[in-house]
């Protein structure tokens, strides 16, 4: 009788759609499909959290969310023709008011000012200037209206706060769509022109403080000493801004071959600027050598996904943010009218081995932001086409029109040949290392021989006996399992045989999260036919 | 344990830790499932081939309340002047013939023949080899045949070359009834609810032989040898229980003349 053989691997490497099944054998922990899971930076794949409604009211009815930002202990949202603000999610006020420059108003006076009509707002850029005061200042660029500056001071009820808000001009009626704060200047771009304000005065743009490029500017970002200018077909850096051309001010090309295709994709993470290019996510990394710039793709493992996105990029609203506590870069893309359940996204987790990727399905973020509240706590919000605002990465459900629906998650491994593709293997059991965060019942499925119809395929096996660990001082009577450990190995007897086998762990529910750490398989070689 | 094709197949699949079949998937089974189905049939026929005259293969008895089983289980009526008769009437070919005939059980009678009254003809028909018949009877009987089949009352039975018919010698001169014992061919298991023809208690023998083939397929000669041993022991038990359920004594009927 042939003895049973062990095979085990740790879940690491993330989604890899770029390599074929045989190539993936070299890295057993990678996933062929990884939907609504996130790569844990310390290995393992964790089912992502859901999101929960922020408050009870929508900021502006059914109007699409164009931008969102945590600000002044509340949330600032651009939607329809309004700029809405709330501190509790229940009462929203339109803070787009026709105030005067350098004029601060109390609550009553500010909301007695006439409204600024922001009709035609595109995807908005929020530029935060910490400056003086506790709350800082926000500048809003939407590509269709004059820039708007807003400063809310004070804490607590809105009636006790002071407000300062008005539009200002960059260059006559120019309506910049993207911008950044560099050193003490506001840098804003419209078309192929880049404008920069006076130092220490982001509202004042002197004549001639602008540069023109050959390409259309998609995004700008301050990065160390320079401003990186992302064009549709090229990338430049603006050096020595404001010093004058005789003192080294110049636009220096980084590349004329690669551009950025979505301004909403530009983020800074891990000391790099990342952006969406036609061939995936790339970095503009400043190296130790001054002035030298390295371009590199960091999403080669999931390049086919990004290639598909790039083909129809103009039909998507692209937003992104960095989840700092998880070392994650999250990018969401969906059409203006796509159903939430069909809306997709990509999560890149920065690990010791570089970025590792997974996908999301069921999160629509037409506005997405991660920022710190007044207590220094990181907050994440996103808003969808129906005008709902959600607390991102919290809870265990997704929502469509305010109604919760299940999180459909799946992790699919490569097909393993267990070291010998020529021999038939009969699988006896699989041990799944799971770290449950509550009572969870994921499902295991084994498929043989690349899921050919010529090989009998076993049914789904529900993993219904995962003991939830009980932590002393936290566990509640009748909820935890006595003796349950943090990372239990769940043994599941399986059936079938084949030359290769893969494993799929999935769930479709509104239960808590869990992390798959690794799998151990016991099999018996059974012939070479 | 059960006797249906599905149950037998699934019992083996479960033993092998393979995916059992559902009713709906049975006819379209693939891979190892299809192979196990094949092995069940191979093992089934192996058991049949070991003993063609298993009691459970006996041809069905006539549905006649007055039927005497000692006559045999198959009968047919002769016609005047016709020597050969197909053993299984209306059988189109050997695939549907009887699997076995006991040539020592042929019996001739007029009982049951229309118009015949007691006392009836009643005699055993001795099996005669073709060679003996050729040497001693063929010429005269062919003369009878040529002479409008004068014939007579048959006293011997012969076997046709193709084994599908029996002949009577002499050629019958009128209608008789010939009885004999026959065993039928089992049909291959096809549908999920097809049942084996033997009692459930012996399905373990079938499973052992099927297991033998499966372990060979899985390159496991040791387990295959174990399975074959199980099969042989089981088959011995079947033979002992089904073929020889008689007192274990013998008699000597030789007579000494002084």
What percent of chain A clears pLDDT 70, i.e. is strictly above it? 96
* ipTM of the complex, rounded to two decimals: 0.74
> Among residues B184, B212, B231, which one ends one of the domains?
B184
Residue B187: both structure tokens together: 């049909």
> Among residues B151, B184, B217, which one ends one of the domains?
B184
Residue A18: both structure tokens together: 């770029």
Among residues A59, A104, A55, the alpha carbon closest in space to that of A82 is found at A59
Same domain, yes or no: B12 and B110: no
B-chain CB neighbours of A495 within 8 Å are 17-20
Among residues A32, A25, A33, the alpha carbon closest in space to that of A9 is found at A25
A-chain CB neighbours of B220 within 8 Å are 1-2, 526-527
Q: Higher confidence at residue A487 or residue B8?
A: B8
Same domain, yes or no: B65 and B44: no
- Tens of pLDDT along A381-427? 999 999 999 999 999 999 999 899 999 999 999 999 998 999 999 99
What is chain A's alpha carbon radius of gyration, rounded to the nearest angstrom?
A: 26
What is the count of structural domains for chain B?
2
Residue B247 included in any domain: no
Residue B45 included in any domain: yes
Q: Which residue of A has its CA nearest to B219?
A: A527
* Helix B5-15 / helix B203-217 crossing angle, nearest 10 deg: 50
Q: Reply yes or no on whether the pLDDT at B246 is more than 90.
A: no
Residue B160: both structure tokens together: 């046709």
CB A137 within 8 Å of CB A197: no
How many other C-beta atoms can be found within 10 angstroms of the C-beta atom of residue B133? 17
Pairing between β-strand A217-223 and β-strand A226-231 as defined by DSSP bridges: antiparallel
Q: Reply yes or no on whether the pLDDT at A477 is more than 80.
A: no
| Helix/strand/coil percent split, chain B, to 5 | 40, 20, 40
- Tens of pLDDT along A188-212? 999 999 999 999 899 999 988 999 9
Same domain, yes or no: B115 and B43: no
Residue B91 included in any domain: yes
Residue B252 included in any domain: no
Tokens 């909820």 belong to residue? A479
Q: What is the rounded CA–CA span in Å between residue A165 and residue A336? A: 29
Q: Residue A409 contacts by C-beta under 8 Å, 6 or more apart in sequence?
A: A35, A36, A37, A47, A48, A506, A507, A508
Same domain, yes or no: B66 and B176: yes
How high is the pLDDT of residue A293? 55
Residue B248 included in any domain: no
Residue B189 included in any domain: no
How high is the pLDDT of residue A288? 34
Which of A132-136, A479-483, A488-492 is least confident? A479-483
Let me know the angle formed at the C-alpha of A170 by A164 and A176, rounded to the nearest 5 degrees. Answer: 95
Whether residue B119 is preceded by a cis peptide bond, meaning omega within 30 degrees of 0, is yes
Same domain, yes or no: B90 and B122: yes
A-chain CB neighbours of B22 within 8 Å are none
Same domain, yes or no: B165 and B226: no
Burial class (CB in 10 A: 0-12, 13-18, 19+), A331: buried
Same domain, yes or no: B46 and B76: no
The model's pTM: 0.85
Same domain, yes or no: B49 and B77: no
Domains and CATH numbers, chain A: 5-49+410-525 (2.60.120), 274-379 (no CATH)
Same domain, yes or no: B173 and B66: yes
Collect all residues from B whose CB is shorter than 8 A from any CB in A: 16-21, 29-33, 217-220, 222-223
**Cβ distance of B30 and A453 shorter than 8 Å:** yes
Q: What is the rounded CA–CA span in Å between residue A124 and residue A263? A: 10
Same domain, yes or no: B69 and B39: no
Averaged over B102-107, what is the pLDDT?
94
Helix, coil or strand: residue A314: helix
Q: What is the rounded CA–CA span in Å between residue B2 and residue B20? A: 15
Residue B180 included in any domain: yes
Among residues B123, B113, B107, B122, the alpha carbon closest in space to that of B175 is found at B113
Which of A75-79, A323-327, A466-470, B160-164 is least confident? A466-470
Q: How close A338 gets to chain B, by Cα (Å)?
A: 39
Q: Mutate which of A430, A453, A526 to test chain B, going by most B C-beta atoms within 10 A? A: A526
Pairing between β-strand A185-190 and β-strand A178-182 as defined by DSSP bridges: antiparallel
What is chain B's alpha carbon radius of gyration, rounded to the nearest angstrom?
A: 24
DSSP for B19-60, written as a single string: PPPPGGGGGG--HHHHHHHHHHHHHHHHHHHH-TT-GGGBPP
Averaged over A13-40, what is the pLDDT?
92
**Cβ distance of A527 and B218 shorter than 8 Å:** yes
Going by pLDDT thresholds of 50, 70 and 90, the confidence category of residue A289 is: very low
Range of the domain at B150: 58-184
Pairing between β-strand B156-159 and β-strand B126-127 as defined by DSSP bridges: parallel
DSSP A264: G
Same domain, yes or no: B121 and B29: no
Sign for the pseudo-dihedral over CA of A346, A461, A430, A515: positive
Which of A307-321, A476-490, B223-237 is least confident? A476-490
- Tens of pLDDT along A97-140? 999 998 999 999 999 999 999 999 999 999 998 876 778 899 99
Same domain, yes or no: B62 and B46: no
Going by pLDDT thresholds of 50, 70 and 90, the confidence category of residue A486 is: confident
DSSP A325: G
CB B144 within 8 Å of CB B168: no
A-chain CB neighbours of B211 within 8 Å are none
Residue B219 included in any domain: yes
How many other C-beta atoms can be found within 10 angstroms of the C-beta atom of residue B197? 16
Q: What is the rounded CA–CA span in Å between residue A388 and residue A53? A: 7
Among residues A64, A84, A66, A62, the alpha carbon closest in space to that of A75 is found at A84
């Amino acid at each position: 009788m042939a003895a049973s053989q062990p095979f085990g691997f740790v879940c690491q490497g993330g989604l890899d759609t770029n390599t074929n099944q045989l190539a993936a054998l070299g890295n057993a922990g990678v996933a062929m499909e990884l939907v609504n899971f996130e790569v844990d930076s310390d290995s393992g794949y964790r089912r992502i959290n859901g999101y929960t409604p922020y408050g009870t009211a929508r900021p502006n009815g059914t109007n699409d969310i164009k931008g969102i930002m945590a600000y002044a202990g509340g949330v600032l949202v651009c939607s329809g023709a309004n700029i809405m603000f709330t501190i509790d999610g229940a009462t929203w006020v339109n803070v787009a008011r026709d105030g005067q420059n350098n004029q601060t108003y109390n609550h009553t006076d500010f909301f007695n000012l006439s409204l600024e009509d922001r009709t035609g707002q595109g995807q908005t850029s929020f530029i935060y200037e910490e400056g003086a005061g506790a709350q800082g200042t926000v500048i809003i660029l939407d590509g269709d209206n004059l820039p708007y500056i807003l400063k809310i001071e004070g804490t607590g009820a809105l009636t006790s706060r002071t407000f300062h808000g008005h539009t200002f001009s960059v260059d006559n009626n120019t309506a910049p769509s993207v911008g950044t704060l560099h050193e003490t200047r506001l840098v804003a771009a419209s078309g192929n022109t880049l404008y920069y304000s006076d130092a220490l005065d982001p509202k004042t743009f002197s004549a001639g403080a602008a540069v023109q490029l050959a390409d259309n500017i998609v995004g700008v970002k301050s990065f160390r000493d320079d401003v990186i200018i992302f064009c549709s077909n090229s990338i430049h850096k603006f050096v020595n801004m404001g010093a004058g051309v005789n003192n080294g001010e110049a636009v220096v090309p980084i590349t004329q071959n690669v551009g950025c295709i979505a301004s909403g994709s530009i983020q800074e993470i891990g000391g790099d600027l990342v952006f969406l290019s036609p061939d995936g996510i790339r970095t503009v990394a400043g190296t130790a050598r001054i002035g030298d710039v390295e371009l590199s793709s960091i999403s080669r493992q999931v390049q086919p996904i990004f290639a598909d996105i790039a083909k129809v990029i103009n039909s998507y609203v692209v937003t992104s943010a960095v989840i700092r506590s998880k070392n994650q870069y999250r990018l969401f893309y969906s059409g203006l009218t796509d159903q939430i359940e069909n809306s997709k996204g990509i999560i890149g987790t920065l690990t010791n081995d570089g970025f590792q990727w997974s996908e999301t399905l069921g999160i629509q973020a037409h506005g997405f932001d991660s920022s710190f509240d007044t207590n220094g706590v990181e907050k994440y919000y996103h808003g969808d086409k129906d005008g709902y605002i959600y607390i991102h990465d919290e809870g265990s459900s997704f929502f469509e029109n305010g109604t919760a629906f299940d999180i459909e998650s799946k992790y699919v491994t490569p097909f393993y040949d267990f070291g010998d593709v020529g021999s038939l293997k009969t699988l006896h059991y699989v041990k799944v290392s799971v770290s449950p965060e509550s009572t969870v019942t994921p499902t295991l499925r084994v498929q043989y021989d690349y899921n050919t119809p010529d090989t009998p395929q076993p049914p789904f096996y529900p993993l219904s006996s995962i003991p939830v660990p009980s932590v002393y001082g936290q566990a509640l009577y009748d909820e935890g399992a006595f003796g349950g450990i943090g990372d239990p190995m769940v043994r599941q007897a399986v059936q079938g045989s084949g030359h290769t086998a893969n494993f799929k762990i999935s769930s479709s529910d509104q239960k808590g999260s869990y992390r798959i750490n690794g799998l151990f398989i016991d099999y018996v070689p059974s012939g070479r036919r | 344990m059960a006797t249906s094709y599905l149950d037998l197949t699934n019992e083996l699949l479960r033993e092998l830790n393979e995916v059992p079949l559902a009713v709906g998937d049975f006819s379209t089974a693939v891979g190892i499932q299809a192979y196990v189905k094949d092995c069940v049939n191979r093992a089934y026929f192996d058991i049949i081939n070991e003993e063609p005259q298993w009691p459970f293969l006996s041809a069905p008895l006539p549905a006649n309340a007055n039927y005497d089983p000692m006559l045999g289980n198959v009968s047919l009526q002769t016609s005047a002047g016709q020597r050969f008769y197909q053993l299984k009437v209306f059988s189109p070919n050997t695939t549907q013939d009887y699997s076995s005939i006991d040539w020592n059980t042929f019996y001739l009678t007029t009982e049951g023949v229309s118009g015949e009254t007691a006392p009836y003809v009643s005699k055993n028909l001795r099996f005669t080899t073709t060679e003996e018949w050729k040497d001693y009877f063929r010429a005269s009987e062919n003369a009878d045949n040529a002479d409008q089949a004068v014939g007579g009352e048959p006293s011997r039975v012969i076997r046709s070359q193709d084994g599908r018919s029996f002949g009577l010698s002499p050629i019958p001169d009128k209608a008789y009834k010939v009885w004999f014992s026959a065993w039928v061919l089992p049909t291959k298991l096809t549908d999920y609810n097809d049942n084996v023809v033997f009692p459930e208690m012996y399905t373990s023998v079938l499973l052992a032989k099927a297991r033998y083939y499966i372990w060979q397929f899985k390159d496991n000669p040791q387990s295959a040898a174990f399975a074959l041993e199980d099969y042989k022991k089981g088959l011995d038990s079947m033979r002992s229980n089904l073929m020889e359920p008689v007192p274990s004594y013998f008699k000597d009927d030789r007579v000494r003349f002084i």
